[in-house]
Amino acid sequence: MFRIAVLPGDGIGPEIVPEAVKVLRACSGLFGLDFTFTEAPVGGAAIELTGHPLPEETLALCRGSDAIILGAIGGPRWDHLPLERRPEAAALLPLRKELGLFANLRPVELYEALLDASPLKQEVIAGTDILVVRELTGGLYFGEKRREQIPGGERAIDTLVYTSSEIERIGRLAFEAARSRRKLLHSIDKANVLESSRLWREVMERLQKEYPDIELKHMYVDNAAMQLVNWPKQFDVIVTENMFGDILTDQASVLTGSIGMLASASIGGQVALYEPAHGSAPDIAARNEANPLATILSAGLMLRFSFNHEAAARAIEEAVARVLADGYRTRELMQPGCRELGTAEMGDRVVEALLKLKEGSL
Ligand code: NAD
């Protein structure tokens, strides 16, 4: 039996996470997998209930589970709080740190039916298949932060810290990932101005000697931002530090047609966490228009990485491809000739497609 912790979080989280659970339940019936689901509050929702965005009980549940599915956290209601109480800084980052989730895998895969949904030209994006490996528990987001009074105003300080062992473990994971793909690794840094990036580059070069079959290319992050939309097909695996990965993957989501399509897996510790790459989208919350597919695809990654069930993971990806090919879209992806679905209906369609796939009738 696999124990899954369910953390819907804020904004659209409580709308999209049940759709992923619905799909996991369907997989349990279809593939003979035994799941238990236990829900817990996190983020702003947890502040409202308990006063803290990451209650001890939620953390304990995560530690005692086999995998975690998370929606997203944060929203304008909690933006006024000091950093140490804000949902993102006081729940999401500590959750990743506490669970040792130092690597965030974000596959940027294009669905045939969405090729014309991206604002980029089809000939530019067709054939793109990238895996972004983002470092998740170091860098600027975790370094010391403070404010100081100075004559005539204030000074704000964020610290960007990386140790060679932090870089080495994410680098090794990325080299291994490249080995199982097209054997090309782009390491993205800003080594022309940042000392942490210079160390990053040195460690990657050292590691490359252990992986002579992998081609390693270095690229500055500003160039990478341009290359990602100019010639995305040149990339296979990208490895980069925390903040660069955060920004570049939002940009990369445009290739897929919508940020609502980008799944992620955070791994490295005892328990892995699966969540869409997007945030809590407060602008569309409670309107039944959020795209649940990134969360559903994250559940697919859970089946692949945590439960080692490749057939079920592939079935989810094929079911999503089928639903899109049939012309069903959530609002942000709507185009002439397509049929608009709400969040829950989209989840239903994926379950239906899964059932048909399994029956072999597709
Ligand atoms: P966002 O990703 O929430 O939204 C950006 C845009 O994408 C919005 O227009 C939104 O409507 C749209 N969008 C996002 N997900 C969508 C989906 N599934 N379907 C359709 N449209 C979707 O980013 P933001 O607006 O910068 O941040 C909103 C809140 O989320 C903030 O509080 C931020 O701190 C938080 N956030 C949380 C996480 C996380 O929990 N992992 C990540 C990023 C941002």
Domain boundaries, the chain: 1-105+263-362, 118-256
Is 345 exposed, middle or buried, given 0-12, 13-18 or 19+ CB atoms closer than 10 A?
middle
Are the CB atoms for 139 and 242 separated by under 8 Å?
A: yes
113: confidence class by pLDDT, cuts 50, 70, 90: very high
Binding site membership of 309 for ligand 1 (Cβ less than 6 Å): no
**How many whole angstroms separate alpha carbon 362 and alpha carbon 357?**
5
Are the CB atoms for 91 and 158 separated by under 8 Å?
A: no
The Å distance, Cα 326 to ligand 1 centre, comes to 27
Nearest C-alpha neighbor of 39 from the set 75, 76, 3: 3
Pocket mutation for ligand 1, best pick of 254, 259, 289, 298 (most atoms within 8 Å of C-beta): 259
Are the CB atoms for 14 and 8 separated by under 8 Å?
A: yes
Average pLDDT of the segment spanning 144-155: 96
The token duo for 103 is 């690597």
Annotated active-site residue 250? The verdict is yes
Q: What angle do CA 332, 312, 253 make, to 5 degrees?
A: 30
Average pLDDT of the segment spanning 293-302: 98
Annotated active-site residue 34? The verdict is no
Q: At 64, give phi and psi (nearest 5°).
A: -90, 10
- pLDDT at residue 360 tops 80: no
Instruction: Residue 58: count other Cβ atoms within 10 Å of its Cβ.
Output: 23
111: confidence class by pLDDT, cuts 50, 70, 90: very high
Amino acid at 126: A
84: confidence class by pLDDT, cuts 50, 70, 90: confident
Annotated active-site residue 283? The verdict is no
Mean confidence (pLDDT) of the chain: 96
Annotated active-site residue 189? The verdict is no
Ligand 1 atom closest to Cα of residue 290: 19
Instruction: Residue 64: count other Cβ atoms within 10 Å of its Cβ.
Output: 11
Q: What percent of the chain has pLDDT over 90?
A: 97
Q: Does domain 118-256 have CATH number 3.40.50.300?
A: no
- Residue with CA closest to ligand 1 atom 42: 279
**How many whole angstroms separate alpha carbon 35 and alpha carbon 81?**
37
Average pLDDT of the segment spanning 150-177: 98
The CATH architecture of the domain made up of 1-105+263-362 is: 3-Layer(aba) Sandwich (3.40)
- pLDDT at residue 109 tops 70: yes
362: confidence class by pLDDT, cuts 50, 70, 90: very low
The position carrying tokens 């009738």 is: 361
Are the CB atoms for 16 and 332 separated by under 8 Å?
A: no
Q: Supply the DSSP symbol for 92.
A: I
**How many whole angstroms separate alpha carbon 259 and alpha carbon 193?**
30
User: 3-state SS of the chain: helix, strand, coil percent to 5?
Assistant: 50, 20, 30
Pocket mutation for ligand 1, best pick of 243, 280, 287 (most atoms within 8 Å of C-beta): 280
Q: What angle do CA 153, 155, 158 make, to 5 degrees?
A: 160
Annotated active-site residue 233? The verdict is no
The token duo for 234 is 């040149």
Binding site membership of 283 for ligand 1 (Cβ less than 6 Å): yes
Q: Select which of 66, 129, 250, 348 is catalytic.
A: 250
Which H or E run contains 103?
strand 103-109
The Å distance, Cα 239 to ligand 1 centre, comes to 23
Q: Any alpha helices (H) in the chain, and if so which ranges?
A: 13-31, 44-50, 56-63, 87, 93-98, 122-125, 164-179, 195-208, 221-230, 242-256, 293-305, 310-325, 343-359
Tell whether the torsion through CA atoms of 187, 193, 199 and 205 is positive or negative.
positive
